[in-house]
Amino acid sequence: MKTLTHFIDGKPVAGISGRDGPVFDPATGEIQARVPFANAAELHVAVAAATKAFPAWSAVNPQRRARVMFNFKALVERDMESLARLMSSEHGKVVADSKGDIQRGLEVVEFACGIPHLTKGEYTEGAGPGIDVYAIRQPLGVVAGITPFNFPAMIPMWMFAVAVACGNCFILKPSEKDPSVPLRLAELMMEAGAPPGVLQVIHGDKEIVDAILDDPDIAAVSFVGSSTIAEYVYAKGAASGKRVQAMGGAKNHAIVMPDADLDACVNELMGAGYGSAGERCMAVSVVVPVGEKTADALVKKLKMRVDGLKVGLPTDAEAAYGPLVTGAHRAKVLDYIAMGVTEGAELVVDGRGFKMQGYEKGFFLGPSLFDRVTPEMRTYREEIFGPVLQVARAKDFDEALALPSKHQYGNGVAIFTRDGDAAREFASRVNVGMVGINVPIPVPLAYYSFGGWKRSAFGDINQHGPDGVRFYTKLKTITARWPKGPRDSDFIMPTMR
């Protein structure tokens, strides 16, 4: 069994806290590695290395920082196959999905390659008599990211690519469930030309999260995870004077209008609902057909497709999805399915009996489908985060619109329709941060920003895109005058007259 390390000051560093945790092989259920859990003293070493590296790195001109990002992109693409297989071995998602995880992260790296343009600033000549005004963006210093298990490459790259390109030094605390890919990304960043201390990886649990939030030398923290922890991270980090963005949970709805192409819709819902075993913050977890006729037809088609989904090993190219990340998470999803039955929802497809032959101890779970779910049910109110799709019927457009709008989460929503007027009205009125029109997973492209509303996000600046640059920089505005000679004293409020 291998023992993983931290990555501090450009090199692997063994843990010294005496605490660690298991990294499972989700297909077999066996422990394949141990990951060290850092303490505050180990974090201080990483912060010291980042603090030392910051002055020189922030002084590197943006074009040369962009070259490092270009190099990093090329190295990740070179190692795409090995990174994807490494990810699948710890997370459980199929290899093709792991490649998609990496690619969506690389798209933000590509965006960060444009950092010379993104941080150009503004300049006004002659804003007043002999006065010029200009604004510049400068890096914050040492910043940190705390990332979830479900996207071990994409979300770290969403964070550190923009932060590092802006001239910051970044400390990454990845999920302890699948930490190997983040470690490898840090090594590749060094190979790309980033100096030691610019990107570091520290593993751990709540103890190290609290240490990050308390450390006075860390200027900003970005977080993605459950809403309960996101709220905690936001409150604790803000109380210690940090800039914080904390993305939380989701309950993403897909509205299906009577005029929608149901066959095309079902095709989309299969991947959106069951891809990566439903372990995506933007997965569609609730389908809302409008009208009983639409609902009956849709559920019938969904059942046929769900019954035919293939669950398999992460290396199986024909599998729709693989095992869940851990046995504990599988047990949590099973509890939600049992709860749904108890609450009175109709279990159309029951995936609880699925076993993978030869891998009976793996964390596999078949796809489940519920019908006649109502807003009062706890399984509707909470995020299940597994291969479970719920159908909540609506009698008309307004009732369908109200479901995602009133839900505690507001990450993503989609509407399937051929009616442009209905789609436009829905997009305008729905109380959700990201909207898809005939697009089930409306994750914005890298040059836009990602972020939900309500309990799906804490903080007012979103991930990547223009908001990413704003989050990892501070604005400085300079007003300059070069007088030709002495000026009289002026005791009134200065204006630009």
| Alpha-carbon Rg for the chain in angstroms | 25
Check residue 497 and give its pLDDT: 61
Sign of the Cα pseudo-torsion (361, 22, 336, 255, in order):
negative
Query: Alpha-carbon distance 440 to 459, whole Å?
Result: 25
Q: Where are the domains of the chain?
A: 2-248+456-478, 252-437
Which of 439, 434, 374, 428 has its CA nearest to residue 401? 428
Q: Does domain 252-437 have CATH number 3.40.309.10?
A: yes
Against a cut of 0.85, is the pTM above it? Answer: yes
Burial per residue of 193-228, b for 16 or more beta-carbon CB atoms within 10 angstroms, e otherwise:
bbbbbbbbbbbbeeebbebbbebeebbbbbbbbbbe
> Which of the residues are catalytic?
281
Q: Which residues, 6 or more positions from 475, have their beta carbon under 8 angstroms from its beta carbon?
A: 135, 136, 137
| CATH assignment of 2-248+456-478, among 3.50.30.30, 3.40.50.300, 3.40.605.10, 3.40.50.740 | 3.40.605.10
Mean pLDDT, consecutive 10-residue segments, the chain of 497 residues?
Answer: 96 96 98 98 98 98 98 98 98 98 98 96 90 96 98 98 98 98 98 98 98 98 97 97 97 98 97 97 97 98 97 97 98 98 98 95 98 98 98 98 98 97 98 97 93 96 95 97 78 70
Two tokens, residue 406:
């009133």
pLDDT at 129: 84
